[in-house]
Amino acid sequence: MTQLHLNEATYQCEAGESVLDALTRQGVAVPSSCRSGVCQTCMMQAAADANVPRAAQNGLKSTLQAQNYFLACVCHPTEDMTVSLPDSSDRLLPATVTAIRPLNDEILCVGLDCPSLQDYRAGQFINLYRDAGFSRSYSLASVPTDSYLRLHVRRLPDGRMSNWIHDQLKIGDSLHISAPVGSCFYLPGAAEQPLLLIGTGSGLAPLMGILRDALNREHSGEIHLYHGSRDRAGLYLVDELRELAEHHPNFHYTPCVSSEPATSGCKSGRAVDVALAEHPDLAGWRVYLCGNPDMVKSARKKAYLAKAAMNDIYADAFVAVAS
Amino acid sequence: MANELFHKLGGEAAVNAAVDVFYRRVLSDDRISDFFEDVDMERQAAKQKAFLTMAFGGPVNYSGADMRKGHAHLVARGLNDSHFDAVVENLVASLQELNVPAELIAEVGAVCETTRNDVLNK
């Protein structure tokens, strides 16, 4: 018999019993469905030092496995485990605004110093709190070795949070953020695998983190980044990305504009269409999709139909809220 | 006996290979792709995997009640025999592409056929 520690309580797990059965039997509500390790509804997270049985991570994305997520219905612990339901990790961290600079007419880069945040994966996102009941998700554009966290905040027409950030937030202000979450990030290993990064608007933020992380870790495969916007004014970090492409022969940057004709160094068309036209066969590729939810949804399907494996397609997990 | 089919086909590895080929065919088939719009692709792929495991006689056991409940909203949108046939046709083509012997494909088809009335809520 082993013990399960959850939310400061302890539950018994009989020999041969799954974590799901043990917790459910003792009155803990754990969402579940197929109870066969297939549907992933009962996903939970184990503490970093827990010994998660390998069978309990079968079928999960490698990024989730690396964060000790497991499927409770097929997890038969061999030793005591500390576990949590994914939603309960939303604790708040104090942060200070250290930089605010415009990236273009509608997007600001916000720098945050958060001493209690020691580790994250480039490409993950945080929830930023204006007050206890009001938060929005923003992807991290920085890598952990940067001196501060960076967010790309686009002003939305009726965006209460984004307008507040654009009009009122000042360097030196204090606020709170959640611990980073999300599984759209670069994982070392398979350094020769080609990477396709497609982003629209401020969806470039996580891709910047993922790109820099991959380059820092000496990813040797080809890396193609397509950043799309309606017009040239919506593109940003163009010079920085061109400079990175000059220094890294395996990195290729293609800015795309959907409502203007192609001009020098810029292709005409939607980023996903330009990317798929240039790379029609994605078998063996790793694909990262960030930005407009409709673009992400359609690009995910197109990438899959172009033979990218489902487990090799990573996408932003959150949807922007307009008001 | 059904479990025997699952092992003859190659067990979980065969399911993983088949789900990729099969799901791509289903998503590209204009006769049925509309039924797969507006769903989370990964969850849907997990369901395809569960479906194939069942079709292969493997260890996922749906009850007829689950089948009826799971497809009721699609029947309301017009899911009928022709769509069921199209899915089976795509499954057969996928297994042929993976060089599965014809007699095993026939067995898989027979397992699928046992679910027709529940899937279509007849």
Is A229 found in the same domain as A135? no
Is A211 found in the same domain as A295? yes
> Measured between CB atoms, does B89 come within 8 Å of chain A?
no
Query: Per mean pLDDT, which of A181-190, B47-56, B60-69, B109-118 is the most reliable?
Result: B109-118
Interface test with A, best of B19, B41, B48, B62 (most A CBs within 10 A): B41
Contact at CB, B50 and A34, closer than 8 angstroms = yes
Contact at CB, B41 and A34, closer than 8 angstroms = no
With CA atoms as reference, the chain A residue closest to B20 would be A309
In the structure, what pLDDT confidence band is assigned to residue B2 with cuts at 50, 70 and 90? low
Q: What is the CATH number of the domain that holds A276?
A: 3.40.50.80
Of A35, A61, A84, which residue sits at a domain end? A84
Is A73 found in the same domain as A109? no
C-alpha Rg value of chain B to the nearest Å: 14
With CA atoms as reference, the chain A residue closest to B23 would be A305
Any domain includes A293 = yes
> Measured between CB atoms, does B102 come within 8 Å of chain A?
no
Of A36, A55, A84, which residue sits at a domain end? A84
Q: Please list every residue in chain A whose beta carbon sits closer than 8 Å to the beta carbon of residue B45.
A: 310
> Measured between CB atoms, does B27 come within 8 Å of chain A?
yes
Is A139 found in the same domain as A46? no
The pLDDT assigned to A89 comes to 45
Is A98 found in the same domain as A80? no
Q: Please list every residue in chain A whose beta carbon sits closer than 8 Å to the beta carbon of residue B23.
A: 304
Is A111 found in the same domain as A79? no
In the structure, what pLDDT confidence band is assigned to residue B5 with cuts at 50, 70 and 90? confident
Any domain includes A256 = yes
Q: Please list every residue in chain A whose beta carbon sits closer than 8 Å to the beta carbon of residue B53.
A: 38
Of A41, A64, A84, which residue sits at a domain end? A84
> Measured between CB atoms, does B13 come within 8 Å of chain A?
no
ipTM above 0.90, yes or no: no
Any domain includes A187 = no
Any domain includes A190 = no
In the structure, what pLDDT confidence band is assigned to residue B104 with cuts at 50, 70 and 90? very high
The pLDDT assigned to A322 comes to 35
Contact at CB, A59 and B46, closer than 8 angstroms = yes
Is A238 found in the same domain as A132? no
Is A281 found in the same domain as A200? yes
Q: Please list every residue in chain A whose beta carbon sits closer than 8 Å to the beta carbon of residue B46.
A: 38-40, 59
Interface test with B, best of A32, A310, A313, A314 (most B CBs within 10 A): A310
Q: What is the pLDDT along chain A (323 residues), one digit of tens a residue?
A: 899 999 989 999 998 899 999 999 999 988 776 777 766 778 899 998 888 999 899 878 788 899 999 999 999 999 999 999 876 445 689 999 999 999 999 999 999 999 988 789 999 888 898 876 677 889 999 999 999 999 999 999 989 999 999 999 999 999 999 878 778 899 888 999 999 999 999 999 999 999 999 999 999 999 999 999 999 999 999 999 999 999 999 999 999 999 988 887 899 999 999 999 999 999 999 999 999 888 988 899 999 999 998 889 998 755 444 33
Any domain includes A300 = yes
Is A157 found in the same domain as A231? no
Nearest to B20 among A59, A300, A309 (CB): A309
Domain count across chain A: 3
Domain that holds residue A263: 195-317
For the segment B92-102, what is each residue's pLDDT rounded down to a tens digit? 999 999 999 99
Contact at CB, B28 and A305, closer than 8 angstroms = yes
Is A106 found in the same domain as A58? no
Is A106 found in the same domain as A122? yes
Any domain includes A267 = yes
The pLDDT assigned to A320 comes to 45
Any domain includes A186 = no
Q: Please list every residue in chain A whose beta carbon sits closer than 8 Å to the beta carbon of residue B37.
A: none
Q: How many CA atoms lie within 13 A of A297 on its CB side?
A: 10
Q: Report if pTM > 0.80.
A: no
Any domain includes A52 = yes
Q: What is the CATH number of the domain that holds A65?
A: 3.10.20.30
Q: What is the CATH number of the domain that holds A165?
A: 2.40.30.10
Is A77 found in the same domain as A61? yes
> Measured between CB atoms, does B47 come within 8 Å of chain A?
yes
Please give the average per-residue pLDDT across B19-29, as a whole number.
Answer: 91
